[in-house]
A and B are shown apart, each in its own frame.
Chain A
Amino acid sequence: MKKWILLVCLWGAMSATAVVAETLAMPLAEYMSDSRPIDLRTSSSQYTLSIPVARRAPVVKARLHLRAINSISLLGNRSQLAVLLNGQVVAQIPLNPKQPEIDADIDLPVSVLRPGYNKLMFSVAQHYSDKCEDPGSPELWVQVDSVRSVLSMDAPLRQWQPRLSELTEVFDPKLPGKRHINIITAGGGKLTDNELGWGALAVQGAALRQEYVPLGVHYLPALRSNGTRGFFPGLDQHLLAGSDNILIGTRDQLAHFLPTATSRQINDGFIAIYPLDNDPAHFMVVISGLNEAQVSMAVHAFAMLNFPYPDTAFAQVSKVEQPRTPDYSAHNTIYPNGHYTFHDLGFHTRTVQGMFSEAQDLSINIPPALFGKQTDTVALHLRFAYGASMRQDSVLNIFLNGRFENVIALQNSDGGYFRDYTVTLPLRSFQPGQNTLSFIPRMMPLVTGECQTIQTNNLTLTLFDNSRIDMPNAAYLVNMPDLSLLAHAGFPYTVKSGSENVTVYLPGADGNSAAAAWMLMGKLAQTTRLPMFAAQVTSLPPKHAGEWLILSPLASLPADILKDAPVQLGEHARLPYPLAGGPGNQEPDLGWQAQAWQFLSDLFVLVPDAEPNQPVYITGQGDGLGRNAMALQFKAPWGSQQTATVFTAGSADILAGSMDDLIRNGKWERLEGDYVIWRNEKDYIYTQSAGSDYVFGEVGFSSRMAYYFNRHPLFWLGGILLLVIALALLTLRLIMRYKRRYHPKVKEVEGHAD
């Protein structure tokens, strides 16, 4: 009972922070990739933000509190800042050089706001002179403060009876605020393996619809009530209000909670969605079946329903035929030796216009374990056209993950059309997992200057979607452990089809540990955009080899699990602490002989292993985790080249809360090394590489040889010498045989010149 009270209290505390999608006030920086101020320069400039509006939460009121400052050199009667919403001017603000600070509240017409992504544009027209002026003059500027400018929207969740075809609206990434769901099962106490598996897939199904938005998870056991009406007459829903929910169980397990008519409909795998009785703005997804196998099938189907069919509140599922996907599958994965058109990767032909036109992005997923040689390049074969009469400094910049990589000069004044313009990028420039290639044109008009009429309609560029990207040959070979690969690509847990070789082990099998595991699996599914439908989730100790994810409070963690971990926890915990001051032990004041030896040693270290900073190990007693959570990655002791990743904390609820913090607050992308400690506090995350490394991958003999020789060329030199000596000895033997046969009587001159 105490446990449940604690659960309720904790849940309540978290609910207080969960936004119920009513009034939301967010700085404009939250709608931008970074929180820099918005600079609008030159005589005419625009900046556009995307404002998401969910269909489920229509906006009834929207107000923009705008803070900005303009240049004091402007001509007041000819300078203004316009605010446009989806192309419609909603406000005009004069730019007064005598009162440069702008503080305005702008009511945005909700009729213009529509479900989807809305464009909020700041457009400036500013001058410093009535007469001829330089439109690019540096004193022409306005700066919008993206942190203190706040967009407030009242967007209450609407109430309606959803259908299964509208699941994407239920789990909508455009919904404001932090998102979380409750997973409810009928069983009490410890979760069974089936329930653990169902919860994992259900959360992944919801998370995938959330796209990139993190999804928090709570576990609640179904509480009985004695109601008689509504969609869930037998279910106590007072803890469920304010959140979306998923109820999973067999028909018999859920019979008490559902109306009889609904129960009677469960004759096979069953999925349904109904509004909560006490909170019609939130919903309950019911996943059931006659037996556990049917429930598994239904939850699998739930995870895969990403098309608006069926348009009903419930559906029966009799079979799910899941095709095998190749290893390293993910959304937009491109494989070695593959050739893909941009269209295959979701890119569409588009024409952009103007001096500062927006970027055209291409998302691709690179398999995380690729071993790219120095000379391996990814080739882009671009088909594009650009307009005439552009200035010589017009370019098409190519960025990779926000980093400038290459450029195409648009220098032909007659315009140009290229069918197969090849640009190569080093394979090593790509990061494991998701990458974004951005094509950003910067086109300048040929005619500029004072008193010139500048027209920009010729500044056009079209990038065609039959452009191609070619991947080089590369092996799958990577040095582990590396938590950054987990963060970027879910590696190594997303390699196989459906993660069939993955086991998620929850020794405690309690609700919080399960919630933590489900949140983690939801996040991993989001990295690849594919569910881990074949992964095992179990509370039983591991029996077979494979990739293991282990989530448990420290007290429940079996001792032998951490045998090869970079830290030893338990009663006598042994942990590494990095030395300050840089790598290596530098001897002071070497004599000339020692310096020479050092020089020779360094000479032949050649491609040195990245010498880890040797840490200090401190052994102490007791559990020192406190409020912290810990993630460890190391080579699994039960199989070669397999990985164990452990997430642990002092207690299950700290584990769950920390996992929620990890996936949600910008810490997930900072995972790296093999030993991470973090806490539910802003920016509190620390990483180390403390353990021994190993190689993951299946490569051909040649690639493996190349990999090892790159790392240890000194051994190669020795090997070559041995091979050469053997070859020379054998060659000499053959030569002597030849000589004895063909020149048996020849006497040679002694001491000849050579």
Chain B
Amino acid sequence: MNTFHAKQLLPIWLVLLLAFVYVAQIEISALAQLWLAVGVFMLMLLVRTQAKKPVWRLVLLSLAAFLTLRYVFWRVNSTISYHDFLSFLAALALFLAEIYGITVYALGMFVNVHPLRRQPVPLPRDSSRWPTVDVLVPSYNEPQDMLEITLLAALAMRYPRDKLRVCLLDDGGTVQKRADSNPAKAAEARQRHDELQALCARIGASYLTRERNLHAKAGNINSALEHLDGELVLILDADHVPTVDLLENTVGSFVEDEKMFLVQTPHFFINPDPVERNLRLFSEMPSENEMFYRVIQHGLDFWNSAFFCGSAAVLRRKFLNEIGGISGQSITEDAETALTLHALGYRSAYIGRPMIAGLQPETYTGFVVQRVRWAQGMVQILLLKNPLLQKGLAPWQRLSYFSSAFFWFFAYARVTFVLAPAMYLILGLQIYDATLLGFLAYALPHVVAAMYVSDFLFGKVRWAFISELYELMQAFYSLPGIARVIKSPTSPSFMVTPKGEQLDSDFISKLSGPFYAILIITIASLLFGVYRYFAYPLDRDVVMITMGWELFNFSILIGALGALYERRQRRAHPRMPAQMTAEICFDAAPGWLPCRVDDLSVGGLNIRVPGATQVGAAASGASLRIHNAALGRMSELPLSTRSSVHDAEENITYLGMAFVTPDDQVKSEVISLVLGDSQRWVNFLQGRSDNRRTILHAYFLLLKVGLRNAIGHGGEITRIGLTYLLRLVQQIVLWLFWRVVVTWVKIRNWALFRDAQS
């Protein structure tokens, strides 16, 4: 690099930046500002048409940043005054929440200024140069069938067998657990230990456990590393089923760059999270994690700050040994390990191809547990490691890590934004001194520009307002969690995220309480707003702005309530759409029939067969001949029929079939077919990305589905309430009845006694 030119460029750049900031703070009349903002926004619309080119991308981001800067200066100089103590406190709280949001927004622009989308580095032709790989699958309480799938898939990865070892790290069957003072628990641990050991022996994996359950997952891994010597380590969560090409696409980076310590790949999920499931958006809306894995991690990768996410990642053993393994003061030991290794000058990479298929938490409770853990862990990193001051990190890495950690304070901002309108509408606190014109001139352009930039950066992977929904879903539980960490940074303990829970029926999440409280406050706030509109005509513009804000909160809350109505999930193995052609041959009717596979899971598949195919009893067998992309050949797999429906109008028979897996080889082949092809995941994600929605469309869709489910939620509450009421009435009636009976008996006895005496 021409360091002379770089040294010249940087001061000039700083001067231009200062000029930019200076121009942004010049005070002008509100009307001039309004027109300026309109002009800037129109420029943004124009520039976006060319934003595929890097320079126009930067211009777009800079114009949005300009509007935000102008808002910040106006906000600081003109909208904060002291009226009374409570108002000032509330105003300050709101201001801090906004500053948080703007900081995250600015950091987001920095991180995503030039995402790096690497092609996988191919392995050398000479396989003798390929490093040895230990695949570690830590487990604690996951069911055996889940572990079997993951282990079989790991063993099926395309990599020389002599250089690959797959290990199950069982923390559920440790010596400590097997010797538990509770006999039932000890027996359970022993059984698990024996079963898993047998499983591993049968399929060709290694079984490892340890003496004591110390330091949770990180301790489990570190303990295993003492017994292993692979040059590279692939870590997979128990439910993260790898595709066959995972190592092919990652190991090459380590061969090419000897300073590479990590290659991270995206976490891809084949089941909806509770929000997606309950709102029934899984197949059309990008998942919540896609924003991170399909955009942000690429941005972090550009700044050499892509961090370890705990699974679906390959690490270089040598560097792990330098720092004593997966290090953890925090409960997100994965990110912390990456930070430590980055600080030592090592490099990371992120390959954006989804090469594992995992499971998201089934219930809202599980979802919250997981997210609170992440929030606490990242806040711990912020407090204990403070990326901004961490020695060894380059300035851009400090900002990147800070951005990743600071993001988790969204809970504070979200709660504040939800409560702020009520502070004014109900309590009359003066939290924001502005006229309608000032709001329209400064605040609205900033908000619109931020939404526009967000849509530009993340629109294919995150619909508008979904961020707000997810943040709201987590905020009420994240906030106390974060508060506990701030109070005592070393105190949070690791909680395993429950997965694979089955939901046998629809029910309301038991964590819905805070949302009801907020709903009551929001509705009250809107009613107070109507009152204020008529009672205080001079404040109408402020009331209108606040009520608009509260209506927005209300619509997000409706979505949240809809998501809190948990829908039943009967499948043990989630099905993913397939759209594959195949042939089927029924045992009862020889001959191969063309068919189309609609969806697949390791348990079974749905196919459609043209024509009136007579299918026998439910247990009738069949064979499926299908191209197995993961193995690169045709697979012939035994099936049994579960259901059959014939559509006479279209002359198609829809069949629900189950895979029959008599042995491990067949099972492995099924797993390869269903979960071994990464291109299927790429296509699935692309399909959802192509389903992009405009901002307004996304808002109204969210409102619609949220309302639909919220009505169901309300119905369920009504049902529960009526049931409770009925039960109460029954108890009262019963009590009254017995009182009457007892009294009658007493009277009768007294009458008999009297008669006897007389």
Task: State the A residues within 8 Å of B (CB).
Answer: 373-375, 603-604, 606-607, 702, 705-706, 709-710, 713-714, 716-717, 719-721, 723-735, 737-743, 745-749, 752-754
Contacts and interface: CB of A to CB of B under 8 A. Distances in A.
22 contacts: A373-B27, A603-B35, A709-B28, A716-B36, A720-B66, A727-B16, A728-B56, A728-B58, A728-B62, A730-B12, A734-B13, A735-B54, A737-B5, A737-B9, A738-B396, A739-B302, A742-B304, A745-B256, A748-B116, A753-B294, A753-B689, A754-B457
Contacts of B43: 717, 721
Contacts of B66: 720, 724
Contacts of B115: 752, 754
A604 B117 CA distance: 42
Q: Which of B58, B63, B257, B302 has the most CB of A within 10 A?
A: B58
Contacts of B620: none
A702 B119 CA distance: 50
A705 B62 CA distance: 21
Contact of A723 (B23, B114, B396, B689): B23
Contacts of B32: 606-607, 709-710, 713
A742 B5 CA distance: 17
A741 B1 contact: yes
Given A752-B117, A753-B461, A743 B302 contact: yes
A708 to B, nearest CB: 10
Nearest to A726: B16
A127 B12 CA distance: 85
B27 A717 contact: no
Given A710-B29, A753-B460, A753-B689, A606 B1 contact: no
Interface in B60-89: 62-63, 66, 78
Interface size class of B (residues with CB under 8 A): 35 or more
Interface string B77-113: 0100000000000000000000000000000000001
Contacts of B59: 724-725, 728
Contacts of B62: 724, 727-728
Nearest to A733: B9
Contacts of B163: none
Given A743-B116, A747-B119, A749-B119, A730 B13 contact: yes
B118 A746 contact: yes
B40 A731 contact: no
A747 B118 contact: yes
Interface in B257-314: 257, 294-295, 302, 304
A265 B119 CA distance: 108
Contacts of B78: 375
B388 interface: no
A604 B31 CA distance: 12
Contacts of A717: 36, 39-40, 43
Q: Which of A719, A721, A752, A754 has the most CB of B within 10 A?
A: A754
A702 B29 contact: no
Nearest to A745: B256
B648 interface: no
A47 B461 CA distance: 78
Contact of A730 (B9, B29, B31): B9
Interface string B6-18: 1001101100110
B117 A749 contact: yes
Contacts, number: 126
A735 to B, nearest CB: 5
Given A709-B32, A717-B36, A754 B295 contact: yes
Nearest to B19: A723
A729 B55 contact: yes
Contacts of A721: 43
B30 interface: yes
A739 B396 CA distance: 13
A684 to B, nearest CB: 38
Rank and list the top 5 A-B pairs by shortest CB-CB distance, nearest first: A728-B58, A749-B117, A717-B39, A724-B62, A747-B119
Given A705-B26, A727-B62, A754-B460, 18 more contacts: A603-B35, A604-B35, A709-B28, A717-B36, A720-B40, A723-B23, A728-B55, A729-B55, A737-B5, A737-B9, A739-B116, A742-B304, A745-B257, A746-B118, A747-B119, A748-B116, A748-B118, A753-B689
Q: Which of A709, A726, A731 has the most CB of B within 10 A?
A: A731
Nearest to A721: B43
Contacts of B27: 373, 375, 706
B88 to A, nearest CB: 15
Nearest to B57: A728
B9 A740 contact: no
A607 B20 CA distance: 23
B1 A737 contact: yes
B26 A604 contact: no
B529 interface: no
Nearest to B78: A375
A741 B1 CA distance: 7
Interface in B586-644: none
Contacts of A710: 28-29, 32
Given A607-B31, A733-B9, A754-B295, A723 B20 contact: yes
Contacts of B113: 731, 735
A626 B257 CA distance: 98
Contacts of A745: 256-257
B387 interface: no
Contact of A720 (B23, B29, B114, B457): B23
A732 B1 contact: no
Given A603-B35, A716-B36, A724-B63, A732 B28 contact: no
B35 A748 contact: no
A740 to B, nearest CB: 6
B352 interface: yes
A721 B31 CA distance: 20
B114 A739 contact: yes
A706 B23 contact: no
B358 to A, nearest CB: 21
Contacts of A375: 27, 78
A499 B177 CA distance: 97
A713 B39 CA distance: 10
A375 B76 CA distance: 13
A164 B6 CA distance: 80
Q: Which of A719, A720, A747, A752 has the most CB of B within 10 A?
A: A720
B297 to A, nearest CB: 13
A749 B35 contact: no
A375 to B, nearest CB: 6
Given A710-B28, A716-B36, A740-B1, A732 B55 contact: yes
A749 B352 contact: yes
Contacts of B17: 727
Contacts of B23: 716, 719-720, 723
B256 A604 contact: no
Contacts of B9: 730, 733-734, 737
A607 B32 CA distance: 6
A735 B43 CA distance: 23
Contacts of A746: 116, 118
A2 B439 CA distance: 74
Given A717-B39, A732-B58, A734-B13, A374 B29 contact: yes
Q: Which of A607, A723, A724, A746 has the most CB of B within 10 A?
A: A724
A594 to B, nearest CB: 22
Contacts of B689: 753
B28 A713 contact: yes
Interface in B38-54: 39-40, 43, 54
A725 B54 CA distance: 12
Interface in B460-496: 460-461
A710 B6 CA distance: 37
Interface in B212-264: 256-257
Contacts of B257: 745
Given A737-B6, A741-B1, A727 B13 contact: yes
A734 B6 CA distance: 7
Given A723-B20, A739-B302, A706 B28 contact: yes
